[in-house]
Amino acid sequence: MVTMRDVAKRAGVSIATVSFVLNDTKPVTPATRERIELAMAELGFRRNMVARALASRRTHIIAMAYPALDHRFGFSAAEFLTSAAEAARNQDYHLVLWPVGNDGTELTELVGQGLVDGVVLMEVQLDDPRVAVLQGTGTPFALIGRTTTLESLAHVDIDFETTVDNAVGYLHGLGHRRLILVSGDLTDPRFHNYGPYVRSEAAYRRVAAEYGFETIVLQCADATRAGQDAAAQLVRDHPETTAVLVLNEYSALGVISGLNRLGHSVPADISVLALLMAPDTAAMSDPELSMMRTPGPELGALGTDALIRQLEGAAPLPPPHLIPAKLHIGGSTAPPPG
C-alpha cells in the first residue's frame, strides 16, 4: 500500500505538506504542489479513507437509511437513491443505502459506531421515532419528508398542496366534476401517520371543497390487488365518478387493471391520474398512466445537499424545500364521457 509517507519521501517534502495539497487546507507553492501531485501519480497513491476518518473524525460517508422491511424499495426509492448518491459524490461524500429496520435500534447501532457522518432519512412519518434517535445521538441528518413539528429540522419534501392543486385543476380543465381520491391506508400501522398520506388527503379535501366537488375518499393499501378492489368498490358505490386520483403507485396499477376488468374503459369511460409516481411505474400499466411525477431526483439531491451543508457548517439550504410533482400526461386521462 502506498501511503502519504511514501509520497512525501518521493516528492522530498514532509507528510504534512502532502496532506495540505490533498485537502487544500493550506497554501502550497505551485512548484511543490506539482512535485507532490507527480509523485502521487507515479506511485498510484490513494488516500486511505479509514485513516483519514479516524484522524479527522469525519468518514465522509452518508447513510441513506431505508426502512426496507416496511416500505418496499421500488422505482421511486431508486430514483431518490441515485440522485442522492450523485449529489454526494459531487461534494466528496459517499452516499450508501444502509438497510435498517424502522424501529430505530439498528439506526442507533449504526451511528454509534461512528461509521457515518450523517443520515438522510426517507419515508418519514409525522411522528417518526428515528428522528428522536438521531437527535438523541447528536447525529446530523436531513429528512426527505416531514414530521409534524419540523421547526429547525433540515428537510425537503413534496409540495402536496401544489401537486394536488395542479392535478385537480388538470382534471377540472378536462371537464371532470365527479372525482374520487384513492388514498393510502392509514389504518396500516406501518403507515400510521405517514406524511404523504396525511398531507395529500388533506390537500385534496381542501381543493375539492374549493371547486365545490363532493369529496369522496377511499383508503387503499399500496398493492395492485388492493387497487383492483378499490376499483370495484368505486364502480359499485360511486358509478357517477368520471376521474380517479390515486395516491399510491402500485394501487394505481391495480385501479387501472381493475377498471379494465370490470369493463370500464380507461380513459374513455373514466380517467385515472396517479398523484405520485415514478416514470418506470407509470410505464407498466396499460394504458400508460397519466401522472404527477414524483420529484425524486430533485428531492434526493436537495436532501443530500441539506445534510452536507450541515456537515460542513455552511448556511442552511435555501428554499424552496417543497417541490411539487409535475404533470405528465399519459394515456389514462381524457375528457369525461358524454
Partner DNA sequence: GTGAAAGCGCTAACAA
Partner DNA sequence: TTGTTAGCGCTTTCAC
Whole-angstrom Cα distance, residue 147 to residue 129? 10
- Residue placing its CB nearer to DNA in the complex, 34 or 280: 34
Residue 16's binding partner among a second copy, DNA, none (Cβ under 5 to 8 angstroms by kind) is DNA
Decide: is 52 part of the binding site for DNA (CB under 7 A). yes
15 binds a second copy (CB under 8 A): no
Burial (0-12, 13-18, 19+ Cβ within 10 Å), 329 = middle
Does position 28 bind DNA by CB under 7 A? yes
Nearer to a second copy, 113 or 187 (CB): 113
Quote the DSSP letter at residue 180.
E
Distance CA 316, CA 306 (A): 7
Q: Does the footprint of DNA cover residue 31 (CB under 7 A)?
A: yes
Q: Which of 26-34, 57-65, 147-155, 262-270 is the region at the interface with a second copy (rule: CB under 8 A)?
A: 57-65
CB-based contact 218:167 (threshold 8 Å)? no
- Residue of 25, 38, 114, 239 that binds a second copy (CB under 8 A): 114
Q: Which one among 5, 26, 46, 192 touches a second copy, defined by CB under 8 A?
A: 46
Choosing among a second copy, DNA, none, which partner's interface includes residue 134 (Cβ < 5 to 8 Å by kind)? none
Strands 326-328 and 290-293: antiparallel
The grid coordinates of residue 53 equal 476518518
97: left (phi over 0), alpha (psi -120 to 50) or beta: beta
167 touches a second copy (CB under 8 A): no
Question: Is residue 70 classed as helix, strand or coil in its secondary structure?
Answer: coil
Backbone angles phi, psi at 159, to 5 degrees: -85, 90
Q: Are 134 and 109 in contact (CB under 8 A)?
A: no
Does 286 help bind a second copy (rule: CB under 8 A)?
yes
Q: Which of DNA, a second copy, none binds 19 (CB below 5-8 Å, type-dependent)?
A: DNA
Indicate which single residue of 41, 72, 92, 169 sits in contact with a second copy (rule: CB under 8 A): 72
Site for DNA in 175-234 (CB under 7 A): none
Pick one of 4, 119, 301, 317: the residue that binds DNA (CB under 7 A).
Answer: 4
Q: Round to whole Å and give the CA distance between 143 and 147.
A: 9
96 interacts with a second copy by CB under 8 A: yes
Exposure string over 220-232, b if 16+ CB within 10 A, otherwise e:
bbbbbebbbbbbe
Per-residue interface string for the shown chain with a second copy, residues 200-229, x marking contact by CB under 8 A: -----------------------xxx--x-
Going by C-beta distance under 8 Å and a sequence separation of 6 or more, which residues neighbour residue 173? none
Cell of 61: 460517508
Report the first-to-last Cα separation within the chain, whole angstroms: 75
Which entry of a second copy, DNA, none binds 241, CB below 5 to 8 A by partner kind? none
Q: How far apart are CA 83 and CA 321, in angstroms?
A: 16
Q: Which of residues 288-327 bind a second copy (CB under 8 A)?
A: 288
Binding site for a second copy (CB under 8 A): 1, 46-51, 53-54, 59, 61, 63, 68-69, 72-75, 78, 81-82, 85, 94-99, 109-110, 112-115, 223-225, 228, 250, 253-254, 257-258, 260-261, 280, 283-286, 288
Binding site for DNA (CB under 7 A): 1, 3-5, 12-17, 19-20, 22-23, 25-29, 31-33, 45, 47-48, 51-52, 54-57
